[in-house]
Amino acid sequence: MNREPTLTYVYAVAVPTPELVRTVASLRGVADAALSLLPPLDDSRPAAPAFVTSQVPHGDWREEALRARFEDLGWLESTARAHHHVIQALSERATVLPLRMATLYEDEERALAALREQRPAFADRLALLAHHAEYGVKVYVRPDAGDGDGDGPDAAPPAATPAPGSPGKAYLQARKRQHHAREDRYQQAARAAERIAAAAAPHATHAVRHPTQSGPLTHGEAGPDGENVLNDAYLVPDDRAGAFRRAVQQAGEDLPGVRVDITGPWAPYSFAMPAPRTTGTDPDPDPGTGTGTGTETPGGPT
Amino acid sequence: MTLAPRDESLPGRQVALVDLLDRLLAGGVVITGDVVLSIADIDLVRISLRALVTSVAGGPDPSSHIGGERP
């Protein structure tokens, strides 16, 4: 009677082991909730994929409440970090399949039913992801890269350049040069991004292109004058991680005005689901979803 | 054996929120839950979040307390 009604929040899929059981018991999830394995580890049966779950208060997590709270950046950040903390800790000890943030069921029975339905698919995906980790590769280009004189793209056309003819004509010529310089920078940025992506790909089994990052959330990442021109995720076998990092760093080294950030290792968030097949039913997959523009290259390098 | 490099490569630095949201709002397994925001709704969330972020941009230096928390 005094117990508040709850919902079952699902974080990830993993195959239970005694070590995983201990890890799960030591962690707290979103809303500081204790975690549990669903179903619990049963030594009498062969290990099958299970959910890592917690109970969360119904009032805060029902659909209408969630809709509003997703708009609250502070709430979103603390929830995302709590979710990620669980996934990251699990992924250091086991192969995990992260679930989309805020996957909720009315109760454990309903969650179990969903698990049973998907178990073969989960098992297949876990097998594919074993001994792999996700790495992010982000390329930033300074707006004035290759310009030499430090003029940003919004600087006024250089007035000091003497040109024959009227001042108006000189102005237009300068404007044109500036336009060309900007075009060059975009092309340089695109070439740099391509070159780095090409260096990364041979060391990865799968790749996903996320939309480039912009907006105030990215300021700390981009620096005051950097534009994100590539935001890729790569699935890399653990024994190639070093070679992958070296190749990506090297590819970015002698490119002026280009900075390369490698993030990770991440749990395989961007590779949790196969890339959608082009069946014709969905001719225009949304590029905003991480898996929407993924390129699947089944089978790793051998 | 494969665990050592993983621990090493996260030198206590907090993951950037923007990278986290890239993965948590667009990645992960999508299965139909009882209370889950549908996939379409998640896209709406991304859009409305962007709207929120854009409106925040007008305020005094939002990047000082959100986003990349690098030393």
Interface confidence: ipTM more than 0.85: no
pTM beyond 0.80: the answer is: no
> Which residues, in sequence order, are CB contacts of A50 under 8 Å at separation 6+?
A13, A14, A15, A16, A37, A38, A39, A41, A115
> Could you give the CA distance from residue A9 to residue A30 in angstroms, rounded to a whole number?
9
Mutate to test the interface with A, among B24, B30, B69 (most CBs of A within 10 A): B24
B5 occurs within a structural domain: no
B6 occurs within a structural domain: no
| pLDDT tens sequence across A15-66 | 998 999 999 999 999 999 999 999 988 877 778 999 999 999 999 888 888 8
The domain in which residue B36 lies consists of: 12-64
Cβ–Cβ contact B30 with A under 8 A: yes
* B36–A62 C-beta distance less than 8 A: no
* B30–A270 C-beta distance less than 8 A: no
B3 occurs within a structural domain: no
From chain B, pick out residues whose CB is under 8 angstroms from the CB of A221: 16, 18-19, 67-68, 70
B35 occurs within a structural domain: yes
B4 occurs within a structural domain: no
Pairing of strands A258-266, A132-141: antiparallel
| pLDDT tens sequence across B33-48 | 777 554 445 555 554 5
Domains in chain B, number: 1
Cβ–Cβ contact B2 with A under 8 A: yes
State how far residue B60 is from chain A, nearest Cα, in angstroms: 11
B39 occurs within a structural domain: yes
| pLDDT tens sequence across A151-206 | 444 444 455 555 567 888 888 888 888 888 877 878 888 899 999 999 999 999 99
